[in-house]
Amino acid sequence: MLLDRLSDLKVVPVIRSDNDAYAGLACDWLLEAGLRALEVTLTVPGAEHLIAALAKREPDALIGAGTVLTAEEARRCIDAGAAFLVSPCAAPGVQEVATEAGIPFMPGAATPSEVLARWREGAALVKIFPAKLLGGTAYLKTLKTVFPEIPLMPTGGVNPETAADYLNAGALCVGMGGELMPKAALQSGNKTQVLTLARQALAAVSEP
């Protein structure tokens, strides 16, 4: 079950780049560091091809699609082999396609009303975005007080230093983007920096 895997893995890197080569490099390095869930956003050129290649090459990893905004995009990602779909907001039609295909959909929300609406629409998990700007761990903890039954994934501003705080505040898992793979590191080929950040994140969420 997806939620059980995400609860175990705890960190979902969000791959967002306007360069497909950099996006592929980020995925390779993050997987090498030990992260086993990746969200490849549709802002990456040729994202479906990258998802398909990763899903075939890494059958034990969870390879999902992010920034899925339409039913047609959802179908293309599912056909490519995406294990889950994510959106930063409400995305009309995506939930229906995901449900029909038996693929978990994780839409985004910012307010309590949006969280409840996404959950009632059938979300497997609700992405809280942008988490840091909304109030960080204090806001997430408040949401969990109101909605203890709804699994939440804060994304946006979460970094290796704050990841454990979000989990302690009630997050099922956390999403991390540029905090794990800085654009400058990818452009300069600084693999060591990305591996170090990824392993710091893993170590932080693995601490008792």
- Nearest CA to 173 out of 67, 86, 103, 44 is that of 86
Task: Return the number of other C-beta atoms located less than 10 Å from residue 166's C-beta.
Answer: 27
Q: In this structure, what token pair is assigned to residue 170?
A: 């009630």
Residue numbers annotated as active site = 39, 127
What is the spatial distance between Cα 115 and Cα 126, in angstroms, rounded to a whole number? 7
What is the spatial distance between Cα 118 and Cα 205, in angstroms, rounded to a whole number? 27
What is the spatial distance between Cα 124 and Cα 144, in angstroms, rounded to a whole number? 16
Residue given tokens 């396609």 in the structure block: 97
Helix (H) or strand (E) holding 154: strand 152-154
Q: According to DSSP H, which parts of the chain are helical?
A: 2-9, 20-33, 47-57, 71-80, 94-101, 112-120, 131-134, 136-146, 163-168, 183-188, 191-206
